[in-house]
Amino acid sequence: MSTAPIEGDIDIDGGRLHYRREGRGEPLVLVHGFGLDHRVWAPQWPVLTESFDVISYDLRGFGRSSLPGEAPYAHHQDLRALLDALKVERAHLIGHSLGGGIAASFDVAYPERTGRVVLSAPLLRGYAQLGELMKLLKNVWQIAARDGLDAARAAWLNASLFAPTLQTPAGRALLTQIMADYSGWHWHNRDPETGLELPLAQRLNELLAPTLVLVGTRDLPDFVHMGEALAAQAPHARLELLPGLGHGPSVEDVALFNARVLAFIAGDAIAK
């Protein structure tokens, strides 16, 4: 039986991270996407905590973690600081979108601390061929500047990126609540987050952990292409396209996503 969940905060250089921890077994860290927070993984908690010590946290600038200051920082270094504070030497990672890029960056920077990695529609910093996603992001930033944060939140939630997720009642309820709570700080401020010294998209061959990339066939083509690039260049990665799912497979088909995660982390072979 899983241990009861605990929530807390740890101090990091220039800020504070909020986390939730539950379960027992090997550590497994869940990393959320832009505009979201650790609650987006609620559909995974009941299943994953039966087998793993599950740590889900709010990235700096999101949820109940502190906002960035003026000093440079890197999300993957914040993740290392979280693991250090929780006395976790090595962990499996699951990351979604922005969080997928962070999980991959952590593996590149700290391979000895990385177990198996699941990347759900990962966003690759430095990937040069972004099309519809870049237009969408620019549009939301412009709405924030012109019409304010409430209008930007509505535009972000109702963007084509999230349409498949919002078509599921559970997905609509979850994303509507989480995005309503997002501060919108990034739309009005310059984020000094730096990422890896060379952008992740240029270092995919250094992603050495066994890696499963999951992308829905209804996601934006940009995410399909980034998934293909990662699976082609990372030596121990494979891409699985999920028919009929969009940008939020962990919410849109909880049973399928959880089954893929459990089978892979338990030791499914990586076929190249």
Q: Which pLDDT score is estimated for 127?
A: 96
Token duo for residue 203: 């270092």
**CATH number of the domain that residue 78 is part of:** 3.40.50.1820
Range of the domain at 226: 6-129+191-265
Q: Which pLDDT score is estimated for 267?
A: 79
In a domain, 165, yes or no: no
Which run of H or E residues covers position 176? helix 169-181
pLDDT band with cut points at 50, 70 and 90 for residue 1? very low
pLDDT band with cut points at 50, 70 and 90 for residue 269? very low
CA–CA gap between residue 97 and residue 216 (Å, rounded):
12
Q: Which pLDDT score is estimated for 74?
A: 98
In a domain, 217, yes or no: yes
Under a CB-based contact definition with an 8 Å cutoff, are residues 36 and 62 in contact? yes
Under a CB-based contact definition with an 8 Å cutoff, are residues 79 and 38 in contact? no
In a domain, 166, yes or no: no
Q: How many C-beta atoms surround the C-beta of residue 178 within 10 A?
A: 20
User: Is the pLDDT confidence value at 26 over 60?
Assistant: yes
Q: Is 266 exposed, middle or buried (0-12, 13-18, 19+ CB in 10 A)?
A: exposed
Percentage of the chain lying above the pLDDT 90 cut: 95
What pLDDT, in 10s, does the model give residues 82-113?
999 999 999 999 999 999 999 999 999 999 99
CA–CA gap between residue 80 and residue 60 (Å, rounded):
13
Q: Which pLDDT score is estimated for 266?
A: 85
Q: pTM of the entire structure?
A: 0.96
Across the range 137-161, mean pLDDT stands at 96
In a domain, 145, yes or no: no
In a domain, 271, yes or no: no
Q: Which pLDDT score is estimated for 268?
A: 53
In a domain, 142, yes or no: no
In a domain, 74, yes or no: yes
User: Is the pLDDT confidence value at 172 over 80?
Assistant: yes
Q: What DSSP string describes 65-88?
A: SPPP-SS-B-HHHHHHHHHHHTT-
User: Is the pLDDT confidence value at 270 over 60?
Assistant: no
Percentage of the chain lying above the pLDDT 70 cut: 97
CA–CA gap between residue 65 and residue 197 (Å, rounded):
24
pLDDT band with cut points at 50, 70 and 90 for residue 61? very high
How many domains is the chain partitioned into structurally?
1
Nearest to 136 by CA among 163, 164, 123, 155: 155
Helix (DSSP H) and strand (DSSP E) numbers for the chain: 11, 8
Token duo for residue 177: 């609540």
